[in-house]
Amino acid sequence: MSKTAPVILYIEDDPDARYLMADIVRFKGYVYIEASRGLDGIKMAEKYSPDLILIDLILPDIHGYEVTTHLKSIKSLRNTPIIALTAQTQKNVKEMVLTAGCDGYISKPINVSEFLFKIEEFLAGKREVMEPDDEKLYLQKYNVQLVSRLKKKITELEELNNSLSSLNNELFSSQEELSNYNDRLFYLNNLANYLRRLRDPDALFEVLPAKMVESFQLKRCVLFEINPKNYKLSAISSRGISRSALDKIKLSLSESLLEQITQRSGVLWIKDNAEIVDQTLLKFAGKIKSNSFLLANLYNLSTRKDSTGIFRKISSDLTDDINIPYSKRLLIFLDKDLEDHTFLTYEVRILKSFLQSVAVILENMFLYTRLMDSYKIKAQQAIHDGLTKIYNYRYFIQELERETNRTKRFHSPFSVLMIDVDFFKKYNDKYGHLEGDKVLKTIARILNDNTRTTDTAARYGGEEFAVLLPGLKKQEAVLIGQKLRELIAAHDFKNKKKSGKIKLTISIGVASCPEDSLDMNIVLDMADRALYRAKERGRNQVCTA
């Protein structure tokens, strides 16, 4: 930096005052540098060795007296004039400033002309001094004030150090808690992925308590089923307490308590039994001997509570043997290892998040099960006759086409029996359709029970049946037909409207492939014509194409 013009350093925290001082000093042709804090001012003075230092006594980090004393202790700055600028009006301020090491004192607000004149004097070597006796007196006062300020600063530093130590401990604790939080999140994420791979809800019920006890260092975990009629609890699976022990304890909750769990988003956190108001919950806590625990209703934690209802609407034509999902009736109980050791807030948050995942996983499991049940039912309905439960016409035709193709390729024979119940219309008119339906069911059962598993017995339509016999030639098929005819003729079709035995007979037509034709439609037609001849010849007999 150029030394042709005097360099003036101004230490002041007020930016407006620094801006004004810069104009005044530069207008005079001096070099101007500035600092907003005491410690910064000391560094600037050491770096640039100014010809004059102006300092405000009130600074944000360190008192101006202390800055002056420190500046005068620096060998290179001992002869540098330091002028105090302050608006302080307390008694003897000038004397205290000179005692601290300043070489002069200027009151604020400054008179610019007078101020510049004084600066020139100080740059020329002027120094303000006190009488020796006054200097000695104020030095004692200054030392007392300095010691007082130092004690205050030491106290403040100790308090700050204690605060930092406490903050550091809290930070360490938070880091440890965050580490535990992340570890458990990682573990529970893996556990949730494991549970998602299960397909059977019962398998999930069996492993869930054990896995939760393991991951959270719990004392106990019990999965209960809630009876929707009386709200009694029955244990499905548990860890930390045996099923037999739980079965001996009669546990139940109230409808109002379950509603309370619902209002708390599915998780009720009991920190201490003293806070329990509900009497059934108080009895529950007493019987299960727990002072602090969690209760979670999985249905309330599910994000798709309406999915079951939607599925029921979609599948309203299904049978009623598909169970309502367990997630509407499952309650999970959790407590910690020690009686006086309650859950931490972050643990409850993690548990709630995990149980929400479990609820969704279970809901998906049950929807998947219902969907598969629906598929199976629909698949059965597609190929079975609704009344007799044996195969229907459509499935019979598919199997007939398959056997025809096999015959064409491998030259293996098959035969077809076309069967009609003799005088069935008269029976139906006399005893009614309900009794007629019973007859059709009975005949279907006899046909199905007395043919091979590789054969296809089907209801062809009305009182007419058909049996596909793979691998059998015509004469072999005739023997099967005779057997079935005799079984039907010997059967007693008793009903509620008539006492004594009721006999019915069947007529059968037989055709074979490739003996009669390689065209399945022609084979069917020839079997049907043979059936017609059996009817013409007096019924209760077997005729061949």
CATH code, domain with 285: 3.30.450.40
Q: Where does 376-535 show beta strands of DSSP type E?
A: 414-421, 456-461, 464-470, 506-513
Query: Per DSSP, what are the bridge partners of residue 106?
Result: 85
Where a domain ends, among 90, 111, 129?
129
Indicate the residue among 314, 338, 373 that finishes a domain.
373
Which residues, including other chains, have CB under 8 Å from residue 504's CB and lie 6 or more apart?
421, 422, 423, 424, 427, 439, 443, 488, 489, 491, 493
What whole-number distance in Å separates Cα of residue 427 and Cα of residue 279? 67
pLDDT value of residue 441: 96
Q: Give the single-character DSSP code of 162.
A: H
| 219 and 361 share one domain | yes
**Cβ contacts of 307 within 8 Å, gap of 6 or more:** 363, 367
Mean pLDDT over residues 226-248, rounded? Answer: 88
Average pLDDT rounded to a whole number, residues 145-157:
70
Q: Is residue 174 part of a domain?
A: no
Measured distance CA(99)–CA(526) in Å, rounded? 136
Q: What is the pLDDT of residue 470?
A: 97
Do you find a cis peptide bond into 201, omega within 30 degrees of 0?
Answer: no
Amino acid 321: pLDDT: 45
Q: Are the C-beta atoms of 539 and 429 separated by less than 8 Å? A: no
> Starting at the edge strand that comes first in sequence, how are the strands of the sheet with 218-226 ordered?
251-252, 232-239, 218-226, 330-336, 293-297, 267-270
Report helix, strand or coil for 389.
Answer: coil
| pLDDT level of residue 322 (50, 70, 90 thresholds) | very low
Pick the more confident residue, 169 or 314. Answer: 169
231 lies in the same domain as 366: yes
Tell me what the mean pLDDT of segment 454-471 comes to: 96
Give the model's confidence band at 165: pLDDT under 50 very low, under 70 low, under 90 confident, else very high.
confident
Work out the average pLDDT over 462-476.
96
- The pLDDT > 90 percentage for the chain reads 43
Please give the mean pLDDT across all residues of the chain.
85
Which of 101, 129, 157 corresponds to the end of one domain? Answer: 129
- pLDDT at residue 169 in the model: 74
On the 0-12 / 13-18 / 19+ scale of CB atoms within 10 A, 196 is middle
State yes or no: pLDDT of 294 exceeds 50: yes
Which band of pLDDT confidence, cut at 50, 70 and 90, is reported for residue 324? very low
The domain that holds 501 is classified in CATH as: 3.30.70.270
Mean predicted confidence (pLDDT) in 269-290: 86
Identify the pLDDT of residue 303.
60
Tell me, what CATH number does 100's domain have?
Answer: 3.40.50.2300
Q: What is the DSSP string of 325-362?
A: PGGGSEEEEEEESSTT-PPPHHHHHHHHHHHHHHHHHH
Tell me if 60 is assigned to some domain: yes
pLDDT score for 327: 46
- Look up residue 500 and give its DSSP letter: S
Residue 23 carries which DSSP code? H
Residues 422 and 490 in one domain: yes
Average pLDDT of the segment spanning 7-31: 93
Please state, in angstroms and as integers, the Cα–Cα distance from residue 517 to each residue in 336, 347, 403, 523, following that order: 80, 77, 13, 6
Confidence of residue 271 (pLDDT cuts 50, 70, 90): confident
How far is residue 345's CA from residue 276's CA, in Å, rounded to a whole number? 19
Over the stretch 423-439, which tens digit does the pLDDT of each residue have?
A: 999 999 999 999 999 99
Question: For position 527, what pLDDT does the model report?
Answer: 97
Residue 355 is assigned to a structural domain of this protein: yes
533 located within any domain: yes
Mean pLDDT in residue range 45-61 = 91
pLDDT at residue 89, rounded to an integer: 65
> Is the residue at 136 inside a domain?
no
With contact defined as beta carbons under 8 Å apart, do 414 and 513 qualify?
A: yes
Are 336 and 214 within one domain?
A: yes
Bridge partners of 348, per DSSP, are none
Same domain assignment for residues 492 and 410: yes
> pLDDT band at residue 325, thresholds of 50, 70 and 90?
very low
pLDDT digits (tens, 9 = 90+) for 167-193: 777 767 667 766 776 777 777 778 888
pLDDT value at position 1? Answer: 45
Confidence tier at 88 by pLDDT (50, 70, 90): low
Instruction: Say if residue 410 is in the same domain as residue 301.
Output: no
Do residue 249 and residue 341 come from a single domain? yes
- Which structural domain range is residue 241 located in? 201-373
Average pLDDT over residues 394-398: 94
Q: Is residue 29 part of a domain?
A: yes
- 541: helix, strand or coil: coil
Name the most confidently modeled range: 82-86, 254-258, 314-318, 408-412. Answer: 408-412
Q: What is the pLDDT of residues 372-381, one digit of tens each?
A: 777 777 777 7
* Residue 520: pLDDT over 60: yes
Q: Identify whether residues 397 and 500 lie together within a single domain.
A: yes
530 close to 506: Cβ distance less than 8 angstroms: no
Query: Are residues 220 and 356 located together in one domain of the fold?
Result: yes
The set of residues, in sequence order, having a beta carbon less than 8 Å from that of 129 and lying 6+ positions away, is 98, 135
Report whether pLDDT(96) > 50.
yes
420 and 478 assigned to the same domain: yes
213 and 270 assigned to the same domain: yes
Please indicate, yes or no, whether residues 412 and 308 belong to a single structural domain of this protein.
no
Overall average pLDDT of the 494-498 stretch: 80
| Residue 325: both structure tokens together | 């999902």
Pairing relation of β-strands 7-11 and 52-56? parallel
Structural domain contains residue 253 = yes
The number of folded domains in the chain is 3
For the ranges 43-52, 78-87, 357-366, which has the lowest average pLDDT? 357-366
Residue 133 has pLDDT above 80, yes or no: no
Q: Is 418 left (phi over 0), alpha (psi -120 to 50) or beta?
A: beta
Give residue 211's pLDDT: 87
193 is a domain residue: no
Contact status, residue 465 vs residue 458, Cβ threshold 8 Å: yes
What gap in Å lies between CA 103 and CA 128, rounded to an integer?
Answer: 6
- Range of 106-115, 158-167, 190-199, 299-308 with top mean pLDDT: 106-115
* 8 Å CB contact between 334 and 221: yes
Q: How confident is the model at residue 323 (pLDDT cuts 50, 70, 90)?
A: very low
| pLDDT at 297 exceeding the cut of 80 | yes
What pLDDT is attached to residue 258? Answer: 87
Q: What is the mean pLDDT of residues 497-517?
A: 92
